[in-house]
Amino acid sequence: MASNTPVLILTTNDCPGYTVQEIIGPVFGISVRSRNAVGNMLGNLSQSFGGEQKGYIKLASDARDSAIEQLTQAARTLGANAVLAMRFDSDQLGNEKGTALNEVVAYGTAVVLAGL
């Protein structure tokens, strides 16, 4: 499949109006990101005062976007035109010496939908 071929990503288990022609199997994309030491220090200081943590929101959002892009590429490489039942899983890794790594995994079932 061409590298720019669209892949439909759905959180539902099916796609109304389309038939699953082939189930390819599980696919995933993973992203691990961290803020730099200054960002972590400012984030920790900001937490003391409460409110929205914009730096961490951007970190999480960028990690999700990267994981979905990798998921899409994995599905495309296998010949899928859709991923059903897509979910996210997230965890914090490390946290030693103030270094927090944010891991985000996007996963689902790669399929070929007829007529898509």
Q: Which residues pair with 90 in a beta bridge?
A: 104
The answer to whether residue 71 sits within a structural domain is: yes
The answer to whether residue 23 sits within a structural domain is: yes
CATH assignment of the domain containing 16? 3.30.110.70
pLDDT of residue 52: 65
| Tens digit of each residue's pLDDT (9 = 90 or more) over 64-110 | 999 999 999 999 999 999 999 999 998 877 666 656 678 899 999 99
Cβ pair 9, 113 in contact under 8 A: no
Question: Domain containing 102: what range?
Answer: 8-34+61-114
HEC secondary structure over the chain: CCCCCCCEECCCCCCCCCEEEEEEEEEEEEEEEECCHHHHHHHHHHHHHCCCCHHHHHHHHHHHHHHHHHHHHHHHHCCCCEEEEEEEEEEEEEEECCEEEEEEEEEEEEEEEECC
The answer to whether residue 13 sits within a structural domain is: yes
